[in-house]
Structure 1
Amino acid sequence: MNRATESYDLPLHSHDFIELTFVAEGKGFHYIDQQVEQTGKGRLYFIPVGVSHVFRPSSPGSLREPLVVYNCLFPPELLDSLAAVIPDPPIAAYLEQIRTDQLPAFSVTDLNGSVESLFLSLHREYHLPQTGSGSYLLALFIQLLVSIYRLRHDEVQFPLNKQTQFLQILHYVNREYAQEITLSHLSRSFDWSERHLQRLFKAHTGQTFHHYLQNIRIQKSCQLLVQQQQTPVQLIAEQTGYRDLKTFNLVFKRIIGSTPGSYRQAHCRKQPDVQA
């Protein structure tokens, strides 16, 4: 796993491994065999073994207009070990096509941000390994392969069904939780009645929309309280969609069982003093 800023220096090249590349920032061009296409943020590429390709920014001044990508590189043999843990026949058949070099190069668009989130997690886990990182990376890798399959077969080739539409609403809420999201806003944006949306939230999440949003926000705030130990609680509240600190504290205590300050104190390890 790596994150790279593309330049004009790298020539057309091929690999003896499979490459999954996700465009994280900017725009530019992807040259593959004798073809070239424009590319930009949110585009994912599958590059089989032996296929010549290269990414280049839209202009030679890559520092001014960078094209930044994540690369996930793996040998086809890695897929052999997944056969025993993939119970779904369509996914198993799809991975077998990849393993045996039956799939040509292709690209898809990350419609809901799920692919980008997986690349971020893969990169972080790969470069900051912890206990069980091998298992965790493999689990993320399987999620990535399944997400790519869904993008190619469910959301790209066929019209969106009602279930997929509601999944997009959930992805939207998970991504934009810090904004002023209301049921009325979702109703206008996705063209469903507020009453119907409320029924869907209750049926598919077991919560009302309001409680679902609160839980997402508080979950994110827990992460920030630990990751940004020097950031005041007031700013953490604002970063997760709460403009009123009193409301944030009340909701946080109801869901977590403690105040934000107590949670931070319990979950943040004190740095040992450095001896001279």
Structure 2
Amino acid sequence: MIEFKYMCKSTGAQNFLFHSHDAYEIYYFHSGVCTYLISDRVYRLAPGDLIIMHGMTLHRANPDPAVEYCRSLIHFDPRFVRRFFNPPDMVDLLLPFHRLKNYRFRLGGKSRQQEVEWLLADMSRYYTVQQPLAKQRFLLLFLQLLIEIYEEYQMTDHAAESPTEKELIVQRVISYIEKHYAEEISLERIADELFLSKYYLSHTFKDVTGVTIMSYVMNRRINQAKICFLIDPDLSVTEAGYRVGFKHLSHFSRVFKEKVGMTPEQYRKWVRCRAGIDMPL
């Protein structure tokens, strides 16, 4: 129900893929130099930044490989939170996720950062330990973290900071892809639509995101196929591939397995089992 990774560190060239999941996510940036992409938003991170994500939105970290990159991650099922932490007479602690969807908080002041970092450190102590009350202590600390996020949501001016010229170009590219990913799409077509040279467009996109434009298109199509299966587990693999822009089933199956780690049919069966559709009697 809650997956927690504390102070994950990496250096050197890493292949951080665009990905999505139906779990909600809390991401805390400890140190490094990193650009973070969520859908068409580009965030230049600073230590102490905390990101919340609503689920099933493509996102990717693009850290500088020359600097150690350190972050903490929490994935959780919102149904679990509602079950334990949201009685009728209490504040809805998931409201920031519902209202803001995907958002970066810049924690104000060292004391605010320290409070969150102390909570994460304490959570790490109880996450894997096998002793009485460890799980309860972990859940209480997680509840306190959600309260901190809710309070930050109440205090924060939610106006977005001004993006750089390159980030604006990336946002325009992703917005265009969002409207046309199910159609025949090419670098030439995007460049013509945005009145930019192919070289400048592809170089700028790769510089900001760490991936090529056509790689992003494939990730977006596969992400939408996953959403199609989640919405309609009875949807055929052929129809799902066609809806998201693939003209050939073999190509769709190959790219899907490459990105997701299983074939479309295996993913469809997994969704059906999770929903109880194919559970044995």
Greater length-normalized contact order (CA 8 Å, ≥ 6 residues apart): 2
For the pair shown, which has the larger CA radius of gyration, 1 or 2?
1
